[in-house]
Amino acid sequence: MGNVIILNAKIKARANKLINIEKDIEEAKKRAAETEAAVDSAETDEDIDVLDEQMEKIQKEIKEKEEAKEKLEQEIVDLEKELEELNNKKPTSEKGERGMNKEKEIRSNLNNFIRTKGQTRDGVKIVDNGALVPVEILKPQIAPTLEVDLSKLVNVVKVNSASGKYPVVKKSGKKLTATSELEKNPDLGKFSATPVDYSIETYRGHLAVSQEIIDDADFDILGLVAEDAELQVLNTKNEKIASILKTATAKAVAGLDGIKDVYNKEIPSVYDVSLVVSDSMFAALDKVKDKEGRYMLQVDITSPTGYKFGGKVIYRLPDTVIAGATGEMKGFIGDLKAFVTLFDRLQTTVKWVENDIYGQLLGIFTRFDARKTDSAAGFYVTYTDAV
């Protein structure tokens, strides 16, 4: 089941990248046509030489993107073939059959809990009067393709207590010292770790389910619950992590050069820098060109998001999440894993809540905390176009 979902996710991701590459090819062909028209109206040989050079670069770009397009198309064909074979494959081992039967049993028990509004509790673990949703059930649920899950980009620590301290050792440029044989070890300096306090909080949401659906549905209610639970948890964690990213040292940047100055001059090279930007800032960066007229925001099949800007992976979030208001061009530039640590209790539960409609509210609860762990790892920037 999990492999099928993973394959579907891979196919969707490559299909999205394919769409973006096709758009880039169309844009490049448009620039080629404009350049060709400019050659016809050029007045000097020098102008023609410049335009010919520019045309050569555009044609090279088109060729590279056409090759990338063919590669993606072949990958999609191969993945679809693999998916078809997997769907037609029967479990061949007793171990595989036991795994599938166990998952069916988990789903069946949790569905019974849901249908009976908590009266039937056989085979489910109860936490605070709610049924614990096993991680193996939630994990396969795939978030929407365009959603960025920040919790997968930051440092994640599994914790078993509601509060505590976590030691943080900042990245440094320290190194060992060469010594002669049998020479006393040199002093490498005092080891230091900064303790970061964490305190787990409980976050809640709900899904309204009519009594008619509970009574009459012949589909997998758990599937609907798990999908909505995963999306609510993702949105909640994104908002919490984004609020921490916004506490980074503020800095105003203008154009490509301003962004490059931040990650080349302001952030030590030991950090793995990426960009998390608002939709409005992403839209502005999508129009930035270098001195030769080439767009700096490029499709990159090696990037998890499908995009890179100035060689750095770029992620986009709604303005209201990472910026604060619609239209604001803001974002975080830095090392997400070093800057934020998420303390996860991994307990997502569901239970019925009283409601005055003919139905029930299925409550969803998750517990975690997130903290800033290395303030030197990034900046919160306000972007403006270069003058």
Could you count the other beta carbons within 10 Å of the beta carbon of residue 173? 7
Residue 255 clears pLDDT 80, i.e. is over it: yes
Average pLDDT, the chain: 76
- Which candidate, 359, 304, 356, 341, places its Cα nearest to that of 10? 304
Q: How far apart are CA 302 and CA 286, in angstroms?
A: 18
**Which residues are bridge partners to 203 per DSSP?**
366
The most confident of 1-10, 94-103, 156-165, by mean pLDDT: 156-165
Predicted pLDDT at 361:
62
Cα dihedral 94/95/100/101 (nearest 10) = 70
- pLDDT tens by residue, 23-52: 778 888 888 888 887 877 777 888 788 888
pLDDT tops 80 at residue 185: no
Per-residue model confidence as pLDDT tens digits over 87-132: 665 444 444 455 556 666 766 776 666 666 566 767 766 655 555 5
- How buried is 305 (Cβ within 10 angstroms: 0-12 exposed, 13-18 middle, 19+ buried)? middle
What is the distance between the alpha carbons of residues 18 and 323, in angstroms, rounded to a whole number?
29
Higher pLDDT, 83 or 31: 31
The domain 143-166+192-387 is classified under which CATH number: 3.40.640.10, 3.40.50.300, 3.30.70.1560, 3.90.1690.10?
A: 3.90.1690.10
Amino acid at 246: K
More confident residue, 42 or 176: 42
Asked whether the beta carbons of 65 and 71 are under 8 A apart, the reply is no
Contact yes or no for 225/219 (Cβ under 8 A): no
From CA 114, how far away is CA 221, in angstroms rounded?
8
Q: Give the start-to-end residue ranges of the domains of the chain.
A: 143-166+192-387
Q: What is the pLDDT of residue 381?
A: 97
Cα distance from N-terminal residue to C-terminal residue, the chain:
53
